[in-house]
Amino acid sequence: MAIVNMREMLQQASRGSYAVGAFNILDYNSMRAVIDAAVECSAPVIIQTSVKTVLFWGYEPIIQWYRQLAGTVSIPIAIHLDHCKDLSVIRDCIDHGWTSVMIDASSKPFEENLALTQKVVGMAGPEDITVEAEMGAIVGVEDDIHVKQQDAHLADVEEAERFCEQVSLDCFAPAIGTAHGVYKGEPKIAFDRLQQIAQGTCLPLALHGGTGLSDEVFLRCISLGCAKVNISTQLKYAHIDGFVDYYRSNDKEYNPLKNLAAQYERLKEGIVKNIQLFGSAGKA
Ligand SMILES: [Zn+2]
């Protein structure tokens, strides 16, 4: 039960009009915070790894943390590679035991994006690994993918339908006006387009750029078809602030385990709130 791909949990979320949180971990402590938060809420959850995080630690340590932490609990937990345009990294993740991958060829023209996505689905299918693909350009910086405001464009409804008809995806990420990183001003979300793409593709949609959206925006996106919500920037802040705030109020102590415990608590607290807001608590 614990070690699973995203298929079943996202289909259930779609049917139940809630969303599964996908949290970008940075290390063992943050993975532990995500899994403990999900266990506490009895929620399905997705451990998400950026390519940078994977290359920083290496494949084997990350998958060992996952197996050890997820293998001993009963809630469903997927491990998903976030935004990846490098097929060799995707191959290595599949070979090491990731249960889910995202191919992000959204900067390529339609046919090229489709061909690369089909290739990844061909690699993942035999291993029963789920695949997410992206269309349109989500503004901001995610890993080494930089999209400037003037280059950001929303996914086209007709193109999205045509794309998803030609490749068997488990999750689809159309650009709908959200951004990676920290929002400057109120984001303009294309709710109509989101709804049309969800209905037209019949796929669970992924909401990228979740950090900083209001509760109302989250709930509306979820009600319109987002079954996976990505949270990354929030964890980066909690990771550093949890550690540093402890140091600031105990600056003579130099007991790093206490800083790490404070970091873990800060991470977990935010994740529990997200899970409760997304409606996945009690759904494991
Ligand atoms: Zn993203």
258 Cα–ligand 1 center, Å = 32
The Cα–Cα gap between 4 and 77 comes to 6
Nearest to 29 by CA among 76, 65, 4: 65
Q: How far is the CA of 259 from the centre of ligand 1 (A)?
A: 29
Q: What is the pLDDT of residue 150?
A: 58
What pLDDT, on the 0 to 100 scale, is given for residue 212? 87
pLDDT tens for residues 233-277? 999 999 999 999 999 999 999 999 999 999 999 999 999 999 999
pLDDT at res. 187: 85
Name the nearest CA neighbour of 42 among 72, 12, 76: 76
Over residues 49-80, the pLDDT tens digits come to: 999 999 999 999 999 999 999 999 999 999 99
Checking if the pLDDT of 93 tops 90, the result is yes
Ranges assigned E (strand) in 143-268: 145-147, 171-174, 205-207, 226-231
User: If you measure from the C-alpha of residue 249 to the centroid of ligand 1, how many angstroms do you get, rounded to a whole number?
Assistant: 34
Q: What is the pLDDT of residue 152?
A: 67
d(CA 91, CA 144): 19
Q: How far is the CA of 60 from the centre of ligand 1 (A)?
A: 24
Least confident of 101-105, 180-184, 219-223, 255-259: 180-184
So what's the pLDDT on residue 204? 98
Q: What is the DSSP letter of 75?
A: S
pLDDT at 140 over 80: no
In whole angstroms, give the CA distance from residue 94 to residue 90.
6
- The DSSP 8-state label assigned to residue 206 in this structure reads E
pLDDT for 118 beyond 70: yes
| CA distances for 179 relative to 88, 109, 146, 187, 193, angstroms | 27, 21, 11, 8, 16
**Percentage of the chain surpassing pLDDT 90?**
87
Supply the pLDDT for residue 188: 86
DSSP 127: G
DSSP at 56 = H
Give the integer Cα–Cα distance in Å for 233 and 210: 8
Question: Which pLDDT value is given to residue 113?
Answer: 97
Tell me what pLDDT residue 211 has: 87
**Which residues are known to be catalytic?**
82
Type of residue at 156: D
- pLDDT tier at 41 (50, 70, 90 boundaries)? very high
pLDDT tens track for 179-197: 898 888 778 899 999 999 9
- Looking up tokens 């464009």 gives 153
The per-residue pLDDT for 232 is 96
Q: pLDDT digit string (tens) for 162-184?
A: 999 999 999 999 999 898 988 88
Runs of H (alpha helix) within 97-214: 110-124, 157-165, 191-201
Average of per-residue pLDDT values in the chain: 95
Contact 170, 150 (CB under 8 A): no
CA torsion angle for 146, 148, 154, 160 (degrees, to 10)? Answer: -30
